[in-house]
Structure 1
Amino acid sequence: MTSEETKKFKIAILDDEPMWCDAIVGLLKREPSLSVVGVVATQAKAVDLAARYAPDIFLVDMMLKHRWQTGVSATIAIREASPLTKIIILTSSEKEEEVVQAVSAGAYDYLSKNNCEDLLPMVLRYLRGGFSPRGIIANDYTKLRQEQTAQVLTEQERLIIEAISQNVPRSQLAKLMYKSESTIKTQISSILKKLDVSNISEAMEKIKHGGVFFPQMKNNTRK
């Protein structure tokens, strides 16, 4: 790899429509400063790609043709594999709820596939340190959704989640909160029921992603 190539910004694409991918790759190759490091069709391969190359930007299709994978679940998985990667969701439906979930999951911005002529300018703007009002609103909205999700819990329940996330043993937590271990266990059960999850790790994920959680994702990412 030459020194010139190492200076290129890395772009990755997750989309399961080959003709669309070819068109997008052709569009991106018009810009000499960009390097398309990979085009994949599944979430599992996207996670591998993100972990290997840490792309500057990952373009993610919202509507993946899989029984449970979506652009939202892929956004969560990619950000876990490469936290600094900016994700732009590409959508053909522009349903408000889908956009809301994508933003809550950590997408940096979104773009309608009907406006693909705006994709290259958007990518270059973000890579050069620019921003858009939507990007700022998206970040603020993500924080708001996180706060709203956490608000279904009592203050003590939020403290319990915070302590467990810091690996505080339940026995020590019981002493710190002047409660019995059985009481702590009961409160944990209440947390799981309120958030509709099966364990504390899932509870923390759901709060982190503003109420968005895919129970199948953890077990099926590599499939």
Structure 2
Amino acid sequence: MRVLIVDDHPMYREGLVATLSRQPGVTVVGEAGDGAEAVELAVRLAPDIVLMDLHMPVMNGVEATGRLMAELPGVAIVVLTMLESDDSLAAAVRAGARGYLLKGAGRAEIVRALEVCRDGGAYFGPNAARALAGLVGAESRRTVANPVLPELTEREVEILDLMARGLSNAAIASRLYVSDKTVRNYVSTVYGKLGVTDRAAAVARARDAGLGSGPPGAR
């Protein structure tokens, strides 16, 4: 099993490298300190697994996961992070992560997650699994309640909903763990598909469709 380790804290990253290198059947093929470097190395080294932190400079782990899914759809991404919010979990899963662990996870659990995800399965730590179950249920309820704007993708509807809740592009980017540029691109696409030219018109369409209910930042 070829593993690429991605974390912006050198000491923690070095500890992971040392720990995993001692595991039978595991080869650490590289390490990266940010998401952009992770994408570059993964394309060059073709690992089986990328062990990915989320909060990093240059490019965060969610955006890097999405890029890797586009470049190397066969690679398995396992998130290992300090972030335990539902938003970070949802963003990582939507980007394509197969596993999600908190940094308090022990060596045995990390190795188990890598093995399961390498073999095509999914692995979520206990807290993440409970949160994910709740998110899936909430998403199903939203889909049933809002079969609207069929011209938009699920992600575009999500962006539009947050716009209608009053979030700025920067706030949406922070909430979804993507770059400001990525949000701007989505917003432009939404304008085009809805046939509107500004944010106010897009928000009006969103509210007509039942999106945007609740205070800013609510989901």
Report TM bin, short chain. 0.5 to 0.7
Q: TM-score, normalization: structure 2?
A: 0.59
Read off the aligned partner of 2:69 and give its amino acid letter. R
Q: Is the 8 A contact 1:73 1:217 kept in 2?
A: no
Partner residue, 2:149: 154
State whether structure 2 residue 111 is matched by structure 1 residue 120. yes
How far, CA to CA, are the matches of 1:71 and 1:216 in structure 2? 16
Deviations 1:151-209 (A, max 9, x none): 67534x25xx8xxxxxxxxxxxxxxxxxxxxxxxxxxxxx9x94789xxxxxxxxxxxx
Taking a change above 3 Å as real, the CA distance of residues 21 and 216 of structure 1, as seen in their structure-2 partners, is same
User: Which sections of structure 2, spanning at least 5 residues, go unmatched?
Assistant: 164-175, 184-219
* C-alpha displacement of 1:28: 0.9
Secondary structure (helix, strand or coil) at the match of 2:4 reads strand
| Overall identity of the aligned pairs, in % | 28
Question: Which residue, out of 22, 33, 37, partners 1:30?
Answer: 22
Partner residue, 1:50: 42
* C-alpha displacement of 1:87: 0.5
How far, CA to CA, are the matches of 2:14 and 2:69 in structure 1? 24
Read off the aligned partner of 1:121 and give its amino acid letter. R
Q: TM-score, normalization: structure 1?
A: 0.58
> Greater relative contact order: 1 or 2 (C-alpha under 8 angstroms, separation 6 or more)?
1
Q: Is the 8 A contact 1:125 1:131 kept in 2?
A: yes
How far, CA to CA, are the matches of 1:25 and 1:133 in structure 2? 21
Partner residue, 1:13: 5
Q: Is the 8 A contact 1:62 1:70 kept in 2?
A: yes
State whether structure 2 residue 85 is matched by structure 1 residue 95. yes
Deviations 1:67-90 (A, max 9, x none): x63221121112122111110111
How does 1:58-69 map onto structure 2 within 5 Å?
58-64=50-56, 66=57, 69=59
Partner residue, 2:67: 77
**Higher alpha-carbon Rg:** 1
Deviations 1:89-120 (A, max 9, x none): 11113112111111111110101101132211
RMSD: 4.1
Secondary structure (helix, strand or coil) at the match of 2:106 reads helix
State whether structure 2 residue 33 is matched by structure 1 residue 41. yes
